[in-house]
Amino acid sequence: MKGMIDLAELKKAASNGSIDTVLVCFVDMQGRLMGKRFHVSNFLDSAWEETHCCNYLLATDLEMGTPDGYASTSWETGYGDYVMKPDLSTMRVLPWLDCTAMVLCDILDHHTHKPVSHAPRQVLKNQIDRLKNLGFDAMMATELEFFLFKQSLEELQQSHFMNLEPISAYNEDYHILQTTKEEPVMRRLRNSLYDAGIPIENSKGEAEAGQEELNIKYSDAMACADHHSIAKHATKEIAWQQGHSATFLPKWHIDRVGSASHVHVSLWRDGKNAFYDTKGEHGKSALMSQFVAGLIHYAAEYTVLLAPYVNSYKRFMKGTFAPTKIAWSVDNRTAGFRLCGEATKAVRIECRIPGSDVNPYLAQAALLAAGIKGIEDKMTLAPPATGDMYNDTSVPEIPTTLRSAIELMQQSDMLREALGEDVLDHYVRCAQWEQQAFDNAVTQWEVARGFERA
């Protein structure tokens, strides 16, 4: 049994023993799958309608700490429950786990059963609804870049993540020989995800030793984010099953290029790409120009939602194919935004700012919010930038630190209006805590640099 399933098919699978476990999951602020493992009989009895989780799970950091400063939940309010409401349209078999299915959930208030506004899936849903009110659907795709390492996660934890060894010894961009050696992980990943109902297109070696890229066919915005989150989770599990480890940390070594998660966007109406106009320059419509103008104008304000950690900003370096400037271009990889599919029905804009650590729901929501504002205000798009943007001092820079990006997001009237006061304040607090945790840390670099010489 494989692919997407409904309740009737799950009942049959339960009765013949081909499925005995159901993962009931939601996506947290960091983009991770959280939830419970149900025996299939209990899921079919009641949990298919709803189950519960602690509401601290949407107010934690990467280490599952409980920072203060969140209006939604705290020790003072006792950390109550949320309702996890399964979205049965997302239910699928997970071929890389024995006899297991999975369903994604929306998060509801325990008392009112209304959606929790800062839950990542809800943040994206709200922007999708805004677009629908304008008569459009968003079609999106994300690229997942990551590194594979020879060692297992347990081995790396025991060595305190020192002496990391990538699974290959050289740049493997499009390299068939080297990626053949990695097929025990990558073939299983591609096939397992495809058999789970995720439209995998391909994988390839990326531009560094041990770096991989996984590409998934474009889809509607919510399915795109769901596919991304499941694929990222599967990558880690399948690498672990094969005795290796995978990381989506954007910049794991100063001398290595970083990992990205580029996001492709187009708006559709009546089954056709509304960004395409045969008479428009580069084949783009006036609507596309307005949308992209919004992306450019507000990029610095929503960068936190594309680059959420201190490490995210270490990736923005000249000459590494990671952007440093806020500009759009026609098929130019040195820009933060790239027009792809020039003069074709597939014309779209690619945002190259997000790193591999991105929460796709929040990033996609931010891009849609900025683009919608561009359409509403009929913004004018400047001509495309050309040449090497790394050295073009006339083009504004992407924020270079999390600290500066937080300040810009906190002051953003556009995000406050589009996402809501409570949602913006929630994710500002999340980013502030990340910065505070880093500021309080004593790094190995500091110790090695100053232990004797300071």
Q: Which residue has the tokens 């474009």?
A: 218
Helix (H) or strand (E) holding 223: helix 221-241
- pLDDT score at 332: 85
Q: How far apart are CA 58 and CA 359, in angstroms?
A: 13
Q: Where are the domains of the chain?
A: 7-116, 127-444
- pLDDT score at 393: 87
Q: How far apart are CA 76 and CA 276, in angstroms?
A: 53
Query: Euclidean distance between the first and final Cα of the chain, in Å?
Result: 63
Q: Which CATH class is domain 7-116?
A: alpha beta
pLDDT of residue 262 exceeding 90 = yes
pLDDT one-digit tens code per residue, 211-254: 999 999 999 999 999 999 999 999 999 999 999 999 999 999 99
Q: How far apart are CA 293 and CA 304, in angstroms?
A: 19
Kindly give the pairing relationship between strand 21-27 and strand 100-109: parallel
Instruction: For the domain covering 127-444, report its CATH number.
Output: 3.30.590.10
Give Cβ neighbours of residue 282 (< 8 Å, ≥ 6 apart). Answer: 330, 339, 342, 343, 347, 384
Q: What is the pTM of this model?
A: 0.96
- pLDDT score at 72: 87
Q: What are phi and psi of 310, to 5 degrees?
A: -55, -45
pLDDT one-digit tens code per residue, 305-360: 999 999 999 999 988 889 999 999 998 888 999 999 999 999 999 999 999 999 99
Percent of the chain scoring above 90 in pLDDT: 89
pLDDT of residue 389 exceeding 90 = no
Long-range contacts, 165-168 (Cβ 8 Å, 24+): 166/208, 166/209, 166/210, 166/211, 167/210, 167/244, 168/205, 168/209, 168/210
- Nearest to 289, CA basis, from 299, 274, 271: 274
Q: What are phi and psi of 344, to 5 degrees?
A: -130, 170
pLDDT one-digit tens code per residue, 1-49: 789 999 999 999 999 999 999 999 999 999 999 999 999 999 999 999 9
